Structure 1
Amino acid sequence: MTAYLQACLANRYFMGSVLVARAGEVLLSAGYGMANLEHDVPNTQKTKFRIGSITKQFTATAILQLQEQGLLSVHQKISTYLPDYPNGEQITIHQLLNHTSGIPNFNELDNFEQITKIKVSLDDLIARFSGEPLEFTPGERYRYTNSGYVVLTKIIETVSGHSYADYLQHQILEPLGMIDSGYDRQEAILPHRASGYVFSGVAYQNADFVDMSWPSGAGGMYSTIEDIYKWEQGLYTDAVLSANSREMMFTPKAVILEKEDGKGAYHGYGGIICTHLERKLLYTGGGIDGFSTRIARYPDEQISIIVLTNIDAAVVAPVVPIANDLAAILFGEPYDLPKQRQVIEIDPAIYDAYIGQYELSGLVMTVTKESNRIFTQWAGLERVEMFPESSRKFFLKVINAQRTFLVDETGKASGVILHQGGLDRGGGERMATRVN
């Protein structure tokens, strides 16, 4: 695992801290790369990272604690606790927890990137999306939305009589001994705080500023790998939740991806239940400007993998393939050891044969050319440059992944094979003709 992580570091798409444990024994706990590039401060086990949507699991825990105390019920309409919330009589707390409320995601509203640079109160934040029409009838289907967890934050404050940050501190963090965690505020002096970066595949740059009043209970916390391990282990004891509440948290509630063999992906309360490497996997993760995070637990094997990074990649959070590959190492499954790849000079006219759209398992990948450079882009994500290591094989610098194009008798691409995680997925069908 150390050799693998050092190889990720050498390829520059990973910096951060990692903890791996099995049956309560810590197998690996270490920092890699820099917490602050400008001052040459290294990442360690004590480095504090913004953890993004892992915060949602804490928010869900707070809701379940309040239910245990008889102060609310997840089956009640949110109008019971927030009588002025529009459509509150249609939406239950349960639907907020499992992303089936129909409330639009405030991250996708107009001018979101500009307005997040100013401080906002919780009520003002809610007012920015509460007046928007519901995207579907509550309970009808699943759609991930940060807005639901902002509303849950307001319910926690209303019912408990405490601020969200204070509730977390006294009811969750202190009981678990999580002394290096809390709700983040940029104005606070926070020892061992990591700086956040974006990696373009060519160079690092400082991540965009975001005022931490915006993420709220959807993504506003910071923590360390050691504290997150306390959290992860504490969720399997009575330290913060009863057995009944824990069962509610980790029981599938909403379908994300359904398969006939039952090995799809399902959302519980604050986390996802699925199958990976033919094993049950419980995971949660997050991303916020300059940071990405992942907690993966294989409950039957009692394996925990925690990856916190201060890099925010354009194509995919680097923590996802890293956590998956570390699991593959532990289970003796295939994985790719990242290696230094060499860019070769080829005639950019070759790229014209590859321009178009490709489909694989219902996902669409678009290949484009601009200024004699070639790019790949999955639907809904930013485009990323590919670099040639042969006339038909290309690699990405922001993640350990490659693309091999298949060509027909005319020389035009008929499909593409995706190489990632020790596996070849491929030959996706070409969906569109070449775009000139």
Structure 2
Amino acid sequence: MTQKTKHLLLKTLLIGLLIQTGFSSVSLGQSKEEKIDQVVSLYADYGKFNGSILVSENGKVIYKKGFGKANMEWNIPNQPNTKHRIGSITKQFTAMLVLQQVQQGNLSLDDVITDHLSNYPKATGDKITLHHLLTHTSGIPNYTAYADFFKNETRNPYQPEEFIKLFSDSTLHFTPGKKFEYSNSGYLLLGAILEKVTGRPYELVLQENILTPLGMTNTGFDHYATILKNRAAGYEKEGSGYKNADYIDMSIPYAAGSMYSTVEDLYLWDQALYTEQLLSSKYKELLFTPFIPAWSSSYGYGWFIMQLPIGGGNDPLLIHQHDGGVNGFHTVISRIPSEKHMIVMLNNTGHAALNDINLAINAILHDLPYQLPKRSFAKTLWEVVSTKGFEAGLQWFNENRNSTEYELNEYEINVMGYQLLNMQKTKEAIIVFQLNVDAFPESWNTYDSLAEAYIQDENEEMAVLYYKKSLKLNSKNTNAKKYIKAHKS
């Protein structure tokens, strides 16, 4: 998942809980479980959730259910015991493993990379500590943000130290410790360091130190070749339907995002965090210490920490949360430790409305008003285009863009544009991307996508123009920088 997407998810949750009075409520006679079921069922009906969900209140499970299909080819439904790839939720497990080694005296949070990885460049490795890696304050570029990374590298299996060479010589984005910048690279390094200090593969360290003690029998390191019972397939939206997600070798996300789990097993994980079974309170507190401002929240070790007001004169709630994204999967775990509430959602159709669902369920748990979902604007638009043609679709867009019945989603419109590009309908794609720019003028990604469409249209002047607009909003857009540099007049 991109930094921009994570920022939007967190920002939306913050804003949403600040404007509760604008939310609509459903029948006052419904129980919390019934309200949750109605909300999630509507999201599923509108194509905005396809996966498994579990909600606990005061430490007790009050709702768990599967929606949609774990495997669309065989029409196999999602269930609470369906195994999903959890993406960056893996990071909190890696952070726990590191602190376990610190507690045992095998590591120190002040250790630098080169204390354990002797082949790492000393110029940077001598000054980046484990604390920097855990808090995304190392300055090491995020390898998944490299231009063409997903196109060129993700199908190839790597050993950790071999993969580290892809980014170890990179110039740091900033002095370590000075700021937050989300980086999968840091957690990949932590996995390699764990292997060095224990003399064991990461997945065995994970199994022996967390999964087996907690009885998490449906959780592990995901290997493509393994025959894994109840494993969900990953999909991505395409038009009004879905396609199989692109293959990724799980040695790529590794200690930053390689795990699979179930909502039921993640409930066991949540409950263990209230105990000292895995780690003493002294070190466990470090997981949830807000060390560094991170977008609209703070970051501890493998967790975002947010102070969220819930209205009614109550004190702000402390929420521990992290989402994950890996090809075809989108996940979130959200905890309110003071109340022992927990929401976990594992979705196997890529980008989903998990933040909106999370927001509504949190409101239900606190007897506050909440909002029911709206139909997908992009999905309906594509259905019109597919059945009546592009011109009819444009007419429908203009007639309904301000309708309160639909939700206009930047990502979904963007996906539609790229689908048109892949169909070689370049002119139509440019129109769709321009519509997205008009609807979301503060998003650097809308301009970036429009620039790519103009490249396919062989219109260098317009591509440069929109790449420059994108750069004004995101100075780290490397694709834009490279294209502009290569096409200076």
Question: Which TM-score bucket, shorter chain as reference?
Answer: 0.7 to 0.9
The separation in 2 between residues aligned to 1:236 and 1:16, in whole angstroms, is: 27
CA 1:187/1:64 → structure 2, altered by over 3 Å: closer, same or farther?
A: same
| Pairwise CA distance, 1:340 | 4.5
- Count of aligned pairs between the two proteins: 365
Report whether the alignment pairs 1:121 with 2:159.
Answer: yes
* Alpha-carbon contact 1:13-1:201 (below 8 Å) kept: no
Return the match for 2:281 from 231, 239, 243.
243
Report whether the alignment pairs 1:34 with 2:98.
Answer: no
* Alpha-carbon contact 1:17-1:29 (below 8 Å) kept: yes
2:125 equivalent in structure 1: 88
1:105 equivalent in structure 2: 142
CA 1:380/1:188 → structure 2, altered by over 3 Å: closer, same or farther?
A: farther
Return the match for 2:84 from 32, 49, 59.
49
Query: Is the strand fraction higher in 1 or 2?
Result: 1
* Alpha-carbon contact 1:236-1:246 (below 8 Å) kept: no
* Alpha-carbon contact 1:17-1:32 (below 8 Å) kept: yes
| Pairwise CA distance, 1:301 | 2.0
Return the match for 2:324 from 282, 286, 310.
286
* Alpha-carbon contact 2:328-2:349 (below 8 Å) kept: yes
| Pairwise CA distance, 1:338 | 2.1
Q: Could you tell me the TM-score, scaled by structure 1's length?
A: 0.78
Report whether the alignment pairs 1:169 with 2:207.
Answer: yes
- Deviation digits for residues 272-293 of structure 1, max 9, x if unmatched? 1012334221101100000011
- Deviation digits for residues 346-380 of structure 1, max 9, x if unmatched? 8749959x9xxxxxxxxxxx999956543255635
2:24 equivalent in structure 1: none
CA 1:384/1:204 → structure 2, altered by over 3 Å: closer, same or farther?
A: farther
- Give the letter aligned to residue 269 of structure 1: Y
CA 1:40/1:320 → structure 2, altered by over 3 Å: closer, same or farther?
A: same
| Pairwise CA distance, 1:332 | 2.6
| Pairwise CA distance, 1:321 | 1.7
Query: Is the helix fraction higher in 1 or 2?
Result: 2
* Alpha-carbon contact 1:13-1:199 (below 8 Å) kept: no
| Pairwise CA distance, 1:34 | 0.5
- Give the letter aligned to residue 36 of structure 1: N
The separation in 2 between residues aligned to 1:383 and 1:178, in whole angstroms, is: 44
2:474 equivalent in structure 1: none
The separation in 1 between residues aligned to 2:207 and 2:72, in whole angstroms, is: 30
The separation in 1 between residues aligned to 2:137 and 2:204, in whole angstroms, is: 28
- 1:252-401 aligned within 5 A: 252-257=290-295, 264-276=296-308, 277=310, 278-313=316-351, 317-340=352-375, 348=395, 373=432, 374-375=435-436, 376-377=439-440, 379=443, 381=445
Return the match for 1:160 from 198, 207, 210.
198
- Give the letter aligned to residue 9 of structure 1: A
Report whether the alignment pairs 1:224 with 2:262.
Answer: yes
CA 1:160/1:203 → structure 2, altered by over 3 Å: closer, same or farther?
A: same
Report whether the alignment pairs 1:206 with 2:241.
Answer: no
Q: Percent identity?
A: 39
Across the aligned residues of Structure 1 and Structure 2, the Cα RMSD in angstroms comes to 2.6
The separation in 2 between residues aligned to 1:241 and 1:380, in whole angstroms, is: 42
The separation in 2 between residues aligned to 1:247 and 1:151, in whole angstroms, is: 23
1:24 equivalent in structure 2: 59
Q: Could you tell me the TM-score, scaled by structure 2's length?
A: 0.70
* Alpha-carbon contact 1:280-1:299 (below 8 Å) kept: yes
SS of residue matched to 2:350:
strand
Structure 2 stretches lacking a partner, 5+ long? 1-35, 311-315, 385-391, 402-412, 418-427, 450-489
- Deviation digits for residues 37-71 of structure 1, max 9, x if unmatched? 11000000110000000000000000000001100
- Give the letter aligned to residue 72 of structure 2: L
- Deviation digits for residues 66-107 of structure 1, max 9, x if unmatched? 001100101222221123212111100000000000000011
- Deviation digits for residues 303-354 of structure 1, max 9, x if unmatched? 10011110112xxx422222122112212333221245776968749959x9
SS of residue matched to 1:85:
coil
| Pairwise CA distance, 1:203 | 1.4
Structure 1 stretches lacking a partner, 5+ long? 258-263, 355-365, 386-436
The separation in 2 between residues aligned to 1:62 and 1:176, in whole angstroms, is: 14
CA 1:216/1:340 → structure 2, altered by over 3 Å: closer, same or farther?
A: closer
1:133 equivalent in structure 2: 171
The separation in 2 between residues aligned to 1:91 and 1:210, in whole angstroms, is: 29
SS of residue matched to 1:198:
strand
CA 1:12/1:382 → structure 2, altered by over 3 Å: closer, same or farther?
A: farther
